[in-house]
Amino acid sequence: MRLSLQFLKSPVFIYTIKCLLGLGIGYWLYISFPHHEFYWTMISVLLVMAPDPKDSSKLAFDRMKANLIGSLIGLILFVINGPNLLLLSIGVIATIGLCSLLKLLPVGRMALAAMLIVMIHEKSGSTWEVALERVGCVVMGCIIAIGISFIFGYLTKDKSAVSK
C-alpha cells in the first residue's frame, strides 16, 4: 500500500496525469470544433508540458514563449510568400537567432517546431487564414499547458514549508 501511495506522488505519475489532462482538454476542443485544427493544440500541450516538477512552471513558460516566437516567425514568413526552402531556412535562422537573443535557446526546438507547424500546410489549404488558425491553436495549447502546470505546482507545493 505504501509503495502505491509513493507512486502517486512520483514525478513520472504527476507528469503523466498533467499530459493526459492537457491531452483531454485539447481532444475535447478537437471533437467539439471539427472544422478547426485543434490537433495542433494537443501537440502544443504535449510539447510545452515539463516532466520535472522543479521549475516546471518556468520551463513551461519558457516553452510557451518559444512556441510564440516560432509561431509568429512562421506566420510572418508565410504571409510573405508561403512555404518554400528559402523561407523555411530563413525561419530556422530567425527562430534560432531570436531564441538565442532572448536566452531561450535550450527550448528553441519548440520554437522551430511551431514555426514549421504554421508554415507547412497541405496543398489544398495553404492560406494565411490557415496559418493564423494554427498560431491560435499553438497558443491555445501553450495556455492549457501553462494553466495545468500552475495548478499542479500549487497543488503539489509542500504545505509545511509554506507555513514555516
Please report, for the chain, the start and end positions of each structural domain, with discontinuous segments joined by +: 8-157
pLDDT per residue as tens digits for the range 15-39: 899 999 999 999 999 999 988 888 8
Count the neighbouring beta carbons within 10 Å of the beta carbon of residue 89: 10
Hey, what amino acid is at 126? Answer: S
pLDDT per residue as tens digits for the range 115-163: 988 888 655 556 778 878 888 998 899 899 889 988 888 877 754 433 4
CA–CA separation, 79 and 88 (whole Å): 13
pTM of the model: 0.74
Cβ-Cβ contacts under 8 Å for 120 (sequence gap 6 or more)? 83
Return the C-alpha cell found at 51: 516532466
Q: Is the dihedral of CA 132, 122, 105, 92 positive or negative?
A: negative
The closest of 140, 144, 119 to 130, measured between CA atoms, is 119
